[in-house]
Amino acid sequence: MFCQTKLPINDSVQNFLFSQSVKKSPIIITTNGIFEFKSKWEFTPFADNSFKKEINQIDALNHANFFTIINSNKLYIVSNGAGPVFIYRNNTFERIDNSSLHKNQFGGARFIYNNKIHIYGGYGFWSFKSFITFFDENISQWDLLYNDSKHTPEGRWKPIYNIINDKLYVLGGRSGSAGSTNQDESFSDVFYFDFIEKEFVNVGKLNPRINPKYTLFSNPKIDDNILLLNNAYLTKIDFENLTFTNYSKELGVLGVDNKYPSFIDDKNLYYISDLNGEKFLNSIDIASIDNEFNSETLPLIINESKISVTQYVLFGLLIAFVFWVILKIFSFKDFIKGLILYDENNIYFNNNSVLITKNEQSLISYLSEKPFITAPQVNLIISDQQFAKSHFTALRNKLINGLNQKLFVLTKNKNCIIQTKHPKDNRIKAYKADSSIIKKKIGFISFLFRS
């Protein structure tokens, strides 16, 4: 269910704070008093004009300069960026700090932990902060929260955040000059600060399907989840389960004015809208979000696979194997370069080949392993029959000459196989070739794994 009510102040008046009372009802804080929305707006003036005098000496009372926060059932007004602190009591806001208006953490994350007001990050003095400060009411001063973290995320302003138990969860944020609203860089990390261990812990990289809306304000909470308001949809972020849910409504435009904060009581979501220059208080029944809005739940973090030690070792072995294969390719090229290779049917030389007969293959195979072959051994290759000596001589000459002609075609060497004498018996005719350049052809895979 949706309701809308016009604000009780003049539309031209900008010096006010839209806030929530300690009873969770919407209120408008002015320099003169407080408007509280119950069934209608009711005004309660301050007891005196002391707050008006005090605040006017500091800065204009608006959301650019101040924020409100509730701690221990007490309502505070705090300078945006740390500095002056006011508490509501005795029907007015009283200043309780001894600090100066330094605005060193403008746009930082504001939250309560251990009953103290804290600010993480923010912008000031031309730099983005990465530390956490807190207001110590015992000394009425802001103090630095020291930590033992080995890693500190980059400084930022306007982060999306939530405090759950003893952890401050932070999503994204921006970096850039304070005036560059849409030109500064967005962060895409998610991390938390552990108050017990005093350290920052990285959670992961933000899912790009989420469209975060960065503002100066803390986001309203439903249980332990925070709610982001956009004009077309709502986004609920569950930091504990690392999920987010987008809620959308057909033809539904919320008209959220993000220059003002939003709040949730037990039943309703309250925010301010601007309609034709007029400011309105809007409320949405929380129950209607689940009942009347379409929803989609997605993981908050990108699932980035982590490489294990075993995977690194396997990858290293793969690289070594590839490098070894490349070396073998070059070795193989060197191996076959200038060699006379043969197989069952052909002889090869420098990428050319010639067909050979069975006898020629037997002859060249023998000469690839032995320094010479005798005439009787050649006769056995030619035939196992007994022929006349002259006939065997003719057949040998035909075999040798034919093979030499084929080798000449490939190598341009006329005498690859030459006739000689047996080194131990000059009476025996023999034939020789350079066995170091005659090799049986093998494939690259066989060459790769040969010993």
For residue 287, being part of any structural domain is answered with no
| pLDDT tens-place values along the chain, 451 residues long | 568 898 998 755 678 999 999 999 999 999 999 999 988 999 999 999 999 999 999 999 999 999 999 999 999 999 998 999 999 999 999 999 999 888 899 999 999 999 999 999 999 988 999 999 999 999 999 999 999 899 999 999 999 999 999 999 999 998 875 455 555 568 899 999 999 999 999 999 999 888 887 888 999 998 899 999 877 788 999 999 999 999 887 645 577 888 899 999 888 999 998 888 788 999 888 888 878 888 899 999 987 655 667 878 888 888 888 877 777 665 656 555 667 888 888 888 887 888 989 998 888 888 888 888 888 888 888 888 888 888 888 888 888 888 888 888 888 887 788 888 888 888 888 898 865 667 766 666 655 566 5
Residues 321 and 415 in one domain: no
H-state helical runs in 13-69: 50-58
Residues 316 and 414 in one domain: no
Residues 418 and 355 in one domain: yes
For residue 296, being part of any structural domain is answered with no
Residues 442 and 353 in one domain: yes
For residue 125, being part of any structural domain is answered with no
The pair of three-digit structure tokens given for residue 232, joined into one six-digit string: 């077309």
Residues 325 and 383 in one domain: no
Residue in 80, 137, 141 with CA at minimum distance from that of residue 114: 137
For residue 61, being part of any structural domain is answered with no
- Grouping H, G, I as helix, E, B as strand and the rest as coil, residue 287 is helix
Residues 321 and 398 in one domain: no
Residue in 101, 268, 107 with CA at minimum distance from that of residue 180: 107
368 is in which domain, residue-wise?
A: 338-448
Give the separation between CA 2 and CA 188, rounded to whole angstroms.
Answer: 33
